[in-house]
């Protein structure tokens, strides 16, 4: 049966198969990145909103997915619901109002995604934008991070500076006064930051690619 939940569930499964978030899937199809946001699936008056035929056609074309495959995704059982965790674009993470001083998400401007295997109650997701983190992280990849997780040398981390810059790097060394970060992209330099210039640091737990 063609139902609202099955159609949206198939879109979400297709995004996961492509290693993308729903917003990255929309971008790949040439659509507005918010087209498939969960907040747009139900109207303000409670009525279900369906994806348009045009948007579905563009997604299938952009991912080279046959209609029969998409119909098969609609018939698959839903995965375990898991725990919803906040999702925000990495570019937005540099702005004020999204995090407290410890790097935990605050406010209600977040979208949400569900990850059945993420038990850390402090974890949240960031969606990569741009190419500064290639080849490890590509535009549209989703990383799950935790500001509460213990960090060790060699861990991949996300760091926000007091100037609002957000970096994904490898933790090379951390002292009482500074942190040394190894770049994931050879075209970008390693960084040494005084702790006075670090707003928060969070360890990367998982990445969609």
How do the domains of the chain map onto residue ranges? 4-75, 83-207
Q: What is the CA radius of gyration of the chain?
A: 18
- CA quadruple 87, 110, 104, 194: dihedral positive or negative? positive
Class of domain 83-207: mainly beta
CATH topology of domain 4-75: 434 Repressor (Amino-terminal Domain) (1.10.260)
The neighbour count for residue 123, using CB atoms within 10 Å, is 22
Phi, psi of 205 (to 5 degrees): -95, -30
Cα–Cα distance measured from residue 133 to residue 94, given in angstroms and rounded to the nearest whole number: 16
Handedness of CA 51, 55, 59, 60 (dihedral sign): positive
Q: Which tens digit of pLDDT belongs to each residue from 108-152? A: 556 666 665 566 677 888 887 766 677 777 777 788 888 888 888
**Cα–Cα distance measured from residue 152 to residue 172, given in angstroms and rounded to the nearest whole number:** 9
pLDDT, one tens digit per residue, over 143-194 is: 888 888 888 898 999 898 988 888 888 999 999 999 999 987 788 889 999 9
In this prediction the pTM is 0.56
């Amino acid at each position: 049966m063609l139902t609202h939940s099955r159609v949206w569930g198939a879109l979400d499964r297709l995004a996961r198969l492509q290693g993308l978030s729903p917003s990255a899937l929309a971008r790949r199809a040439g659509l507005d990145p918010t087209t498939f946001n969960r907040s747009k699936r139900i109207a303000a008056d409670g009525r279900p909103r369906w994806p348009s035929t045009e948007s579905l056609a563009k997604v299938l074309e952009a991912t080279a997915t046959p209609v029969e495959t998409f119909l098969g995704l609609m018939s698959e059982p839903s995965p375990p619901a898991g725990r919803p965790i906040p999702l925000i674009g990495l570019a937005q993470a540099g702005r004020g109002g999204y995090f407290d001083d410890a790097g935990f998400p605050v406010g209600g401007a977040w979208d949400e995604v569900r990850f059945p295997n993420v038990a850390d109650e402090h974890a949240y997701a960031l969606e990569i934008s741009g190419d500064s983190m290639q080849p490890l992280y590509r535009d549209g990849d989703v990383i799950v991070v935790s500001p509460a997780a213990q960090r060790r040398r060699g861990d991949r981390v996300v760091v926000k500076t007091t100037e609002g810059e957000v970096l994904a790097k490898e933790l090379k060394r951390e002292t009482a006064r500074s942190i040394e970060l190894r770049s994931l992209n050879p075209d970008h330099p390693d960084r040494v930051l005084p702790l006075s210039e670090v707003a928060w640091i969070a360890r990367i737990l998982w990445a969609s690619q």
